[in-house]
Amino acid sequence: LPVFVTGVSQGGGIGIAATALGDDVAGALIDVPFLCDFPRATSITDADPYAEIVRYLAAFRDRVDDTFRTLSYVDGVNLASRASVPALFSVALMDAVCPPSTVFGAFNAWAGEDKEIVHYAYSGHEGGGPEHRRRQLDWLADRV
């Protein structure tokens, strides 16, 4: 049976990593992923969990380069460039927790050509809710 990866928020970021690093993944459902484009996220949102990084860097100003270099190893934008399976992303345009531009960064870096992103203009970090679940089920049905 084919294996599909799915995750929301932190699970979405981990889903990107699992897809990028897994050998037998058939597709990915990635929703409002955290862990993407740390430098951008920390410069545009004051919401946790990215704000935790900001507070750390405010206390340890001499560690900025080392911090972002370390985080780059788990950054969804970098990992997405290794993922080539079909993917369905969601992004919420009013999401302060995972800013839309960070999600688009991972989506744009996704190496596969069969990819789609659904945006929810007036949603926050909850994403697309039941409407998106229905879309995911239809997407899966087309591939299984």
Q: What angle do CA 1, 16, 70 make, to 5 degrees?
A: 140
CA distances from 12 to 80, 121, 127 (A): 11, 19, 12
The catalytic residue among 84, 101, 119, 125 is 125
pLDDT of 1 = 84
CA dihedral sign of residues 1, 7, 127, 68: negative
The catalytic residue among 9, 31, 90, 123 is 9
**125 noted as active-site residue:** yes
pLDDT of 77 = 98
| 13 has pLDDT over 90 | yes
The 10s digit of each residue's pLDDT in 22-73 is 999 999 999 999 999 999 999 999 999 999 999 999 999 999 999 999 999 9
The catalytic residue among 75, 90, 95, 132 is 95
**9 noted as active-site residue:** yes
CATH number of 3-143: 3.40.50.1820
Query: How many whole angstroms separate alpha carbon 17 and alpha carbon 20?
Result: 5
| 78 has pLDDT over 90 | yes
Q: What's the mean pLDDT when you consider all of the chain?
A: 97
The 10s digit of each residue's pLDDT in 111-121 is 999 999 999 99
- Domain range summary for the chain, segments of one domain joined by +: 3-143
